[in-house]
Amino acid sequence: MNVKADIPSLITEIDYGTPASKAERMVTLTVDGRSVTVPEGTSIMRASMEAGIEIPKLCATDMLESFGSCRICLVEIDGRAGTPASCTTPVGEGMVVRTQSERLDAIRKGVMELYVSDHPQGWNEQRGTGASEFDRMVKMVGLTENRYGTEGRNHVMAEAGEGMAPGNGSLTIDYMVRDESNPYFTYDPSQCIVCSRCVRACEEVQGTFALTIQGRGFESRMVASMNEAFLESECVSCGACVQACPTDALREKSILEKGMPERSVVTTCAYCGVGCNFKAEVKGDEVVRMLPYKAGKANHGHSCVKGRFAYGYANHKDRILKPMLREKITDPWREVTWEEALTHAANEFRRIQYQYGRGAIGGITSSRCTDEETYLVQKLVRQGFGNNNVDTCARVCHSPTGYGLNTTLGTSAGTQDFDSVEAADVILVIGANPTDAHPVFASRMKKRLREGAKLIVIDPRRIELVKSPHVEAAYHLPIRPGTNVAILTGLGHVIATEKLYNEDYIRAHCDWDAFQDWLEFVSDPRYSPAEIAQICGIEAEDIRQAARLYATGGNGAIYYGLGVTEHSQGSTAVMALANLAMATGNLGRKGVGVNPLRGQNNVQGSCDMGSFPHEFPGYRHVAIDAVRQIYEDAWGVKLDNEPGLRINNMLDAAIDGSFKGIYIQGEDILQSDPDTKHVAAGLAQMECVVVQDLFLNETARYAHVFLPGSTFLEKDGTFINAERRINMVRKVIEPKAGYADWEATQALARALGLDWNYTHPSQIMDEIAATTPTFAGVSFELLERVGSVQWPCNEKAPLGTPIMHVDGIVRGKGNFVRTEYVATDEKVGPRFPLLLTTGRILSQYNVGAQTRRTDNNVWHAEDRLEIHPHDAEERGIRDGDWVRLSSRSGETTLRAQVTDRVAPGVVYTTFHHPDTQANVVTTDSSDWATNCPEYKVTAVQVSPSNGPSDWQHDYAEMSRMTRRIKGHLEAAE
Amino acid sequence: MALQPASTEIATRTASIIQQMQGLEGPLLPILHGVQEEFGYVPKEALPVIADALNLSRAEVHGVVSFYHDFRKNPAGRHVLKLCQAESCQSMGSDEVADKLKKLLGIDFHETTHDGSVTLEPVYCLGLCACSPAALLDGEPIGRLDDVKIGEIVREVRT
């Protein structure tokens, strides 16, 4: 393991100074008499560290390419003149290196003395945290004096006397005021040593290029953008610069306020589907910093503003920490014991089943909870409720992915690991906005694009990837919302008619008859570029060029998001993508594949864990007798062989009066599901709604029982990310409400009379492994040992499967499917002439329940409606005006943002804020195969407005009424 | 003194300079020179336009502009006098030349006279070491500076 413990339980990952070399040839050298063998191209600094000898350094760190500016890491090499920098000098066979000598000592001290002479108040007093790398290096080189004094131009003597923090002192000629504009970190230029680590981290790791060194010589200093405050600059607050800074010039405010952490626990982020590993660093029982874990295989030590900084919601005052009950939803909540809440819920569920039938209740699993928790909820429904009425929020996002990829390739998940993008030559991004929704993966994608990979973006909106510093799409096809299947089939047409397909691959791995059928289908002139260009509102030539590039540009990798799935033809579009990959042979190796970018941390896991009404864990249909037998044996009950109700069926049944009770774990269906009014009407008809969540979410307004949830910091378990990676979630602090979510579900099951006795989530995983072939080899013991694995993980692949379909397509023969384009029912007309599409923004996450309760609001305090200047002018709308957004379903108001990011005829908004309620506007159309709602296309009209609609006022009032808790003062907001 | 152009005008004029030079290999520096030639300085408002056109960040362009002292942040005087202060010229008395010129013009290095007639700048080697002490007036080299030539320079810039 790349880990050593400084203080027991505070994990410090070794910094090797320069990145690992990927060369295969090995070189052996001697460092201070120790022999060490490393790959060719490794720096002396890294080789030395691998031999256990640390060379002092300031400008080097192993997340960044070597730079050679600090002149601290000098060494002596036999037979070479001078003292070369060990970070920029590669190893050579038989080289003899000395890292210590009187000469080196003197040089290093001399250089270090110059650094401290330009550092606030000199060398012998602790600055900032007193625990920076700079402070450590001062000690390491053994500096004992500063002959240059502390009168230098950069010394900031405390104006108000001793004891004042650096950066708050008197003005000297080069003094720059401390920048506190970012809510999470501070920049104190007086402590900057101009090592450029922050600038390089922003460029190499994050790919934003927001920082630079201003000026030259003694005046040079790091600045953001054009010497702007961080908050106003191009900075996206990923924090890579803070992590890279060797002094306290850039430092987390939480560390400066609360002090250095005492212990840390490696865990997995609970935001998006990238699944970054973090060290949660704790002081006392409070998390003071989230530091990305370099050994994390999804993120390799990088993170975004959400994962690194937006964890404050865990301590937010809105969190509910006691179970609550009420008879009617108009009553105020009453705090009760866990026992009373659970007994009440269990009795109600049993009463309802007795009164209305076994199928009158159901459960919803959460894509934010762990695999183990999700597994327990579906088990509770199937074993305890005796029906299959279980569904999950993946219904509203990636259910078409499961269906589409299963039908064509035979697996319900992405084909690659994230590392695969390093080998991609052509990247096709459709219906995804990685820089906002999957930022850490976007950084890796951008890195590959800077190395020369070509990019095709298919998206109605000009997303950041289309053009941002050092990244530019070769082709951007700004299609009309709702025409994905047309454009993808059109690309297939070009590949088919120009014979750009890979016949060898198809003959070897695909069903030839199905291919012939597909070939005939896509070759039809109605899918020619000229026709498709008409449908999609783009240029025919761009379609041809993009298809040629994808088919012939080398390794072609497809990445897609909810812009593909959340359509009436979502499943068809997924199959169209698989068709393209199969036809061009872009499957089964590094750099290719079809990859869904999963929205939530565990949406893959919740699907894998049998959260659908027709499937057991591992995507096995409930009607298959042999599969049912496995669970009947394990659980000791007879299981229903009929699929249960989907979310929207449950709500329909509720309105009809045949569905009366629901257990919802960690999902806010009222806010995240389409047609809000329909969801509200369904919930209102139920007699027992049990909501388990961190906060009184929107759905909880219709709840009778509230069970307080636990954050990812408060439990053990696993999340599965978009690359099928099973990542460990480890308990960092004790559950604030007493129970982790899996314990609460178990307690509910026991109240219902089930004999569940899990004492740790590892036992739940053992049960999953014992009953699910794709998870057969998974155990907490294995995960502890190897960090993480990608399913399938079984006898054939004991350490998991980074890339699928390597030895042939899992299904046996790849199945080409005809993908007939059928225009959505959502058509523009005189009343609703614009198309609304929805998306996300970097700083907020999903319905915003977590991020809205953090300082991330400084970047996105409200949802805005993006509208093209042409459409805005026609309606007399100026930037920032309140506008009314109406559709056939309903209307809401929000403020406009006039921008040419969207094409004329298209408007766009996010759905992070409940008072906007974009889903009041979205309709109930859904994917034909999976019922995944069509969030991405709604015909709308936009008109000037004076402010929030009546509906929004009523809603705000109702929100307040239904959130009262007996004995609590009402919150001021 | 001429009024500084409005930011939309700066953007338009910058865009046309970019258009002429975008095809060059490493177009940033030629563009910046072009901008300075056009406006007499490199207006801050021009930088985002350049960044966008070259697909760079604002930070990168600012980093480059601020690195080179030759790129001005503000308009210079009608004349620009650069006095060499490098080793050879120093040994031939460039310090005294500088003192005299500062006195005669009433300004220090990096300053412009109140009437906007001349800006005085130090420069570190013009490659005219054989003719030290040397200067550059509006791009024209002047060697072997003495009191006569100093007088001529002052007359030239004051008219």
A422 and A390 in one domain?
no
For A450, the enclosing helix (H) or strand (E) is helix A439-450
Residue linked to tokens 């690194």: A308
Q: How many CB atoms lie within 10 A of CB A212?
A: 30
Count of domains forming chain A: 4
**pLDDT digits over A398-417, tens only?**
888 888 999 999 988 889 99
Interchain CB distance below 8 Å, B66 and A211 = no
Smallest CA–CA separation between B42 and chain A, in Å?
13
Interchain CB distance below 8 Å, A469 and B55 = yes
Interchain CB distance below 8 Å, A223 and B59 = yes
- The two three-digit tokens of residue A649, written as one number: 């069926």
Q: How many CB pairs under 8 A join A and B?
A: 54
Sheet holding B140-142, edge to edge: B111-112, B118-123, B79-84, B135-137, B140-142
Q: ipTM of the assembly?
A: 0.89
A847 and A880 in one domain?
yes
Residue A68 lies in a domain: no
pLDDT at site A5: 43
Give the nearest partner residue to A226 out of B47, B55, B69, using CB atoms.
B47
Among A714, A735, A769, the domain-final residue is A769
Chain B CB contacts of A223 below 8 Å: 59, 62
Smallest CA–CA separation between B75 and chain A, in Å?
19
Is the pLDDT at A471 greater than 50? The verdict is yes
Chain A CB contacts of B66 below 8 Å: 214-216
- Rounded Cα distance between A758 and A329, Å, is 33
Smallest CA–CA separation between B14 and chain A, in Å?
18
B/e letters for A370-383, b = 16+ CB within 10 Å, e = fewer, are bbbbbbbbbbbbbb
Interchain CB distance below 8 Å, A470 and B55 = yes
Residue A886 lies in a domain: yes
- The two three-digit tokens of residue A302, written as one number: 């990088």
Q: Specify whether the CB–CB gap between A710 and A320 falls below 8 A.
A: no
Domain that holds residue A293: 261-309
Is the pLDDT at A152 greater than 80? The verdict is no
Residue A387 lies in a domain: yes
Q: What is the DSSP string of A244-303?
A: H-SSSSEEEHHHHHH---SEEEEEE-SSBTT--EEEEEEETTEEEEEEE-TT-TTTTT--
A571 and A649 in one domain?
no
Q: Is cis: bond before B133, omega within 30 of 0?
A: yes
A349 and A297 in one domain?
no
- Rounded Cα distance between A811 and A802, Å, is 17
pLDDT at site A6: 45
Q: How many CB atoms lie within 10 A of CB A472?
A: 14
Instruction: Decide if A468 touches B, using CB distance below 8 A.
Output: yes
Give the nearest partner residue to B59 out of A210, A467, A471, using CB atoms.
A210
Burial class (CB in 10 A: 0-12, 13-18, 19+), A758: middle
A350 and A488 in one domain?
no
Residue linked to tokens 């047609």: A675
- Rounded Cα distance between A220 and A227, Å, is 12
Smallest CA–CA separation between A491 and chain B, in Å?
28
Interchain CB distance below 8 Å, B59 and A467 = no
A501 and A439 in one domain?
yes
Residues found in chain B: 159
Residue A571 lies in a domain: yes
Smallest CA–CA separation between A457 and chain B, in Å?
17
Smallest CA–CA separation between A536 and chain B, in Å?
28
Instruction: Decide if A213 touches B, using CB distance below 8 A.
Output: yes
pLDDT at site A128: 61
Residue A129 lies in a domain: no
- CA-wise closest residue to A856 among A162, A285, A310: A310
Q: Integer distance in angstroms from the first to the last C-alpha of chain A?
A: 49
Q: Which residue of A has its CA nearest to B62?
A: A226
pLDDT at site A121: 59
CATH code, domain carrying A887:
2.40.40.20
Interchain CB distance below 8 Å, B62 and A226 = yes
Burial class (CB in 10 A: 0-12, 13-18, 19+), B104: middle
**pLDDT digits over A580-596, tens only?**
999 999 999 999 999 99
- CA distances to A391, A441, A747 from A353, rounded to whole Å, are 19, 46, 19
For residue A740, the one-letter residue type is A
What is the Cα A828 distance to its own chain's centre? 33
A932 and A869 in one domain?
yes
Q: Which residue of A has its CA nearest to B60?
A: A212
Smallest CA–CA separation between A211 and chain B, in Å?
6
- Rounded Cα distance between A101 and A4, Å, is 27
One digit per residue, the tens of pLDDT, for chain B of length 159 reads: 455 677 889 999 999 999 999 999 999 999 999 999 999 899 999 999 999 999 999 999 999 999 998 898 888 899 999 999 999 999 999 999 999 999 999 999 989 999 999 999 999 999 999 999 999 999 999 999 999 999 999 999 987
Residue A143 lies in a domain: no
Residue A820 lies in a domain: no
Return the SS3 of A860.
coil
pLDDT at site A4: 45
Instruction: Decide if A432 touches B, using CB distance below 8 A.
Output: no
pLDDT at site A1: 42
**pLDDT digits over A98-149, tens only?**
999 999 999 999 999 988 887 765 555 555 677 889 989 999 999 888 888 7
For A910, the enclosing helix (H) or strand (E) is strand A906-910
- CA distances to A298, A366, A676, A688, A718 from A663, rounded to whole Å, are 33, 11, 19, 8, 22
Q: For the residues A548-566, what does the mean pLDDT come to?
A: 94
- Rounded Cα distance between A99 and A968, Å, is 65
Domains of chain B: which residue ranges? 7-67, 79-158
A864 and A754 in one domain?
no
Give the nearest partner residue to A225 out of B55, B62, B69, using CB atoms.
B62
The dihedrals phi and psi of A770, each to the nearest 5 degrees, come to -70, -25
Instruction: Decide if A470 touches B, using CB distance below 8 A.
Output: yes
Interchain CB distance below 8 Å, B66 and A214 = yes
- Rounded Cα distance between A751 and A690, Å, is 14
Chain B CB contacts of A233 below 8 Å: 58-59
Residue linked to tokens 């014979």: A499
Instruction: Decide if A212 touches B, using CB distance below 8 A.
Output: yes
Give the nearest partner residue to A227 out of B57, B60, B62, using CB atoms.
B62
- Rounded Cα distance between A172 and A154, Å, is 7
State which fold the B79-158 domain adopts. Answer: Glutaredoxin (3.40.30)
Angle at A121 (CA atoms; ends A116, A122), nearest 5 degrees: 30
Among A570, A592, A614, the domain-final residue is A592
- The two three-digit tokens of residue A707, written as one number: 């069970």
- The two three-digit tokens of residue A37, written as one number: 């063998």
A549 and A512 in one domain?
yes
A413 and A387 in one domain?
no
For A865, the enclosing helix (H) or strand (E) is strand A864-867
Residue linked to tokens 């080793």: B87
- Rounded Cα distance between A614 and A281, Å, is 41
pLDDT at site A156: 59
Sheet holding A34-39, edge to edge: A34-39, A26-31, A96-98, A76-77
Instruction: Decide if A224 touches B, using CB distance below 8 A.
Output: yes
A580 and A526 in one domain?
yes
Q: Integer distance in angstroms from the first to the last C-alpha of chain B?
A: 15
Q: Which residue of A has its CA nearest to B46?
A: A226
Q: pLDDT band at residue A599, thresholds of 50, 70 and 90? A: confident
Smallest CA–CA separation between A509 and chain B, in Å?
42
Instruction: Decide if A206 touches B, using CB distance below 8 A.
Output: no
CATH code, domain carrying A503:
3.40.228.10
Q: What is the DSSP string of A790-853?
A: ES--SSS-TT--SSSSTTS-TTSSB----------S----SSS-EEEEEE--TT--TT-TTGGG
Residue A532 lies in a domain: yes
A519 CB-side CA count, 13 A? 19
A454 and A557 in one domain?
yes
Is the pLDDT at A168 greater than 70? The verdict is no
